[in-house]
A = this chain, B = another copy of it.
Amino acid sequence: MDAMVTGGKAMVADLRRLFADVRNHSEALAASLSAEDQALQSMPDASPVKWHLAHTTWFFEQFVLRATLPDYDVFDADFGFLFNSYYEAVGPRHARVARGMITRPSAAQVGDYRAYVNAAMQDLLAEGRVEIADLVVLGLNHEQQHQELLITDITHAFAQNPLLPVAIPGWRMPVHAGDGEVAWVAFAGGLVEIGYRGEEFHFDNEAPRHQVWLAPYALANQLVTCATMLDFIADGGYRTPSLWMADGWAQVQAQGWSAPLYWRQSGDQWLGFGPGGSAPLDPSAPVAHISWYEADALARWAGARLPTEPEWEAAYGHPRLAEMTGSVWQWTESAYRPYPGFRPVAGAIGEYNGKFMINQMVLRGSSAATPAGHGRASYRNFFHPDKRWQFSGLRLARDC
């Protein structure tokens, strides 16, 4: 998940503080993780904490400092190779699956790298150059995306350790807004507009704003809860092929899925696992850590369906809809594809979003792990339909 700015207008004066705040927050997330923890990669989809900290720094060094300052001395010439994520245009890079091999540079050296780049950035920002503002804002949004991945990746890694360590002490899911009674909120549909509108920062995949025709529909006023998932399990949902897409059913059988990721039974009790460690499952909490296949099957079992992207976005802001952001990402019916008229920007930055627009499904909203400011109406998150390690859940929809 990466980013491209098209219309950032933040004042340069504010940028110095914003830059410091975002950068400090990344380090705060890693505060209770040892150097060993930070080097850990538990699967190809995930990256080490240290890699997130270095890659987001490389972004500023590569696209801002080196591009702007002819005399800039890179911190270490090897870091470009080690910490490029997927920018083909920038040159070769270390294999994604082998990010966990990089015990050197150490966590301490990555800390030095961050300090070095932070200082150079603050100096540059102090010059008040307007032309870099958009790119800096993009870099900060990019770093915020990696803050969420940092949380979900270390959570996945710690789930592989039989000791089930705590990644972020005190971390907990927000209290569920609903009272257990789902209500349907109806919308008339017709010709709606979706996509980003405004002058602030947004990612390229949110544009261009465009018109979509919708049939009448209704959305549930709250998210699907763990209690409902328990009912689904008790009703044999994971053993009933007619509830599943064929590819999903194949996954259920191949992976032996019988509950959301991180759920396990201890005697009669269900336990979950998250950044805050292991804890008894809260039935009233929104279900999380489910794949699109599970969300789709759960919706079908409930006699409903997932919302489409335009349905979700057009409904955003309705006062009766709770938990649209800040709890769990909500899988949609919509495949992740470019909007009509979508154009990636030129150069390496253009590789951010466009080239991933296949084989993935869109999630809307944001999660408890999402930094503030990413929970807007037009935000498009996306993952392959079998992925489960994000805070991914669902909201029900139906035709009217």
Contact = CB atoms under 8 A, between A and B. Distances in A.
Given A42-B101, A215-B210, A399-B341, A86 B191 contact: no
Given A94-B162, A163-B104, A356 B36 contact: no
Contacts of A355: 244-246, 249
A296 to B, nearest CB: 8
Given A247-B358, A355-B246, A39 B42 contact: no
A340 B215 contact: yes
A247 B103 contact: no
A34, A36, A359: residue with the most chain B Cβ atoms closer than 10 Å: A36
A213 interface: yes
A81, A103, A246: residue with the most chain B Cβ atoms closer than 10 Å: A103
A102 B356 contact: no
A20 interface: no
Interface secondary structure of A, over-half rule: mixed
Contact of A356 (B35, B245, B296, B357): B245
A106 interface: yes
A89 interface: yes
A83 to B, nearest CB: 11
Contact of A36 (B42, B106, B338): B106
Nearest to A333: B337
B39 A161 contact: no
Given A246-B86, A358-B248, A212 B215 contact: no
A36 to B, nearest CB: 4
B161 A104 contact: yes
Interface string A75-115: 00010011000101100001000101111111100000000
B213 A212 contact: yes
A385 B358 CA distance: 9
Contacts of A308: 340
A24 interface: no
B157 A101 contact: yes
A335 interface: yes
Interface in A154-171: 157, 160-163, 165
A277 to B, nearest CB: 12
10 contacts: A35-B36, A42-B101, A88-B241, A100-B100, A101-B161, A103-B161, A103-B165, A104-B163, A105-B163, A247-B359
Interface of A: 34-40, 42, 78, 81-82, 86, 88-89, 94, 98, 100-107, 157, 160-163, 165, 191, 210-215, 241-242, 244-249, 292-293, 296, 308, 333-335, 337-338, 340-341, 351, 355-359, 385, 399
Given A39-B40, A42-B101, A82-B162, 4 more contacts: A82-B163, A88-B241, A333-B337, A335-B335
